[in-house]
Amino acid sequence: MDSAIWTEKYRPTDFKEIKGQKEIVEKIKAFVESKNMPHLLFSGPAGVGKTTLSLVIAKQLFGEHWRQNTLELNASDERGIDIIRVKVKDFARTKAIGNVPFKLIYLDECDALTKEAQQALRRTMENYTKTARFILSCNYSSKILDPIQSRCAVFRFKPLSREEIFAVIENVAEEEKLVISEEVKQALFDVCNGDCRRLENILQSCAVLNQKITPEAVYSMASVAKPKEVNEVLTAAAEGHFLEARKKLLNLMLDYGLSGLDVIRQIQKEIWNLELEDRKKVELVDKCGEVEFRMVEGSDEYIQLESFLAYAMLVGRK
C-alpha cells in the first residue's frame, strides 16, 4: 500500500466507528440527528479524532453532497485576514444543497489564526448563522479569542486510552494480516501516547518491513529508546556508576538518533520505575524540568544530560 494511506483508509464514516471520545460523540450525534447544531470548538492534542469527527458530521449531515456543502481549511497554511474575508465569506453566504439549512465550514488548527483574522471570523460567524455553521479545531483553546469561544459549544478531546488503542491495533492487524503480540501492542501504546494517527503511521512503517511486527521495530520506527535501556542508564547513575551511565546514554542517543529533548522526556517517564524512595524520585523529576527548560533555551544537550546523570548519582547516594 502507498505510504500514508492507512490514516485515510481507516478513517470512520459513521459515529459508531469512532474510537474514544464516547461522551462527545453522543452529544454531536444528537445535534446531527436533529439537523440543527451550534458552532463547535474542538480542542485537544493531535491524533485524537478532531478532524475525523468533523468529517463524519459532514458525511452524516449531507450524505453524498457533503463535499459541496463543506469547506475545509487548514489555518496553519492560510491564516491571514483575507482568507476569512474572501474565501470563508463567499462560501458562507450561499445556500446549502439538500435539506439541511446550513453549510459546514471546518477550520483546522485555528489557534494559528492571527488575532486580526480571529476578529474577522467573529463577525462572520455572527452574520452568517442562518447559512453556515463553523467547526473550529485547535490544540490550545486558550489561544482562541474569548468572543469566539462564547459563540461555540466547546468540546475537549483527550488522548485515547489503552483499551481504545488496543482495539485500533487489533482492527488494523486483522485487516492487514499482521502478526502482533501483546508485547508489541504495549510498545505501540507506549510510543504513541494516545495519538491514533501516530499509531497508524508507525504500524504502517513496520508492516512494510515485515508482517510480523516486533517491539524492536516499533521503537526503531518511532525513534524512541526502549524503556528498559533508559531504566538501565538511570539505575547505573543512581547506584554511583557515573561513567557507565554516561557511556550507555551516549550509545543510546547514537543508536536511536535521539535528541536531548527526546531523551529527557523518556527519562522523566522512567524515573517512576526506579527502585528509589518517592522523595528521591520527586527530586529527579524536578531536575528533569530544569534540564528540559535549559535545553529549550539553547543549552548544550550533552552537558545538560551529563549534569542530570551527576545529579541522579548524588540523589541515589543520599
Residues 135, 117: Cα–Cα separation, whole Å? 16
Domains and CATH numbers, the chain: 21-156 (3.40.50.300), 162-221 (1.10.8.60), 227-317 (1.20.272.10)
Cβ–Cβ under 8 Å, residues 168 and 181? no
What pLDDT is stored for residue 1 in this prediction? 45
User: Of how many residues is the chain composed?
Assistant: 318
Which residue has cell 504502517? Answer: 204
Which amino acid is located at 240 in the chain?
A: G
C-alpha cell at 14: 459513521
Phi-psi region of 14 (alpha: psi -120 to 50; beta: other; left: phi over 0): beta
Classify residue 95 by its DSSP letter: P
The pLDDT value recorded for residue 35 is: 85
Quote the pLDDT of residue 3: 45
Q: Please report, in tens digits, the pLDDT of each residue of the chain (318 residues total).
A: 444 555 566 677 778 888 878 889 899 989 988 888 899 999 998 888 898 899 899 989 888 888 888 888 876 566 667 777 777 888 888 888 878 889 998 988 888 888 888 888 888 888 888 888 999 999 988 889 999 999 999 999 999 889 989 988 998 888 888 889 999 999 999 888 888 889 988 988 888 888 899 888 888 888 888 888 899 999 999 998 999 999 999 988 888 788 888 899 899 989 988 888 999 999 999 999 999 999 999 989 999 999 999 999 998 877
* Amino acid of residue 11: R
Q: Classify the C-alpha dihedral 272-275-277-279 as positive or negative.
A: negative
- Reference 75, options 112, 33, 22, 30; nearest CA is 112
Residue 128 confidence (pLDDT): 86
Residue 2, pLDDT score: 47
* Orientation of helix 227-238 relative to helix 242-256, angle to 10°: 160
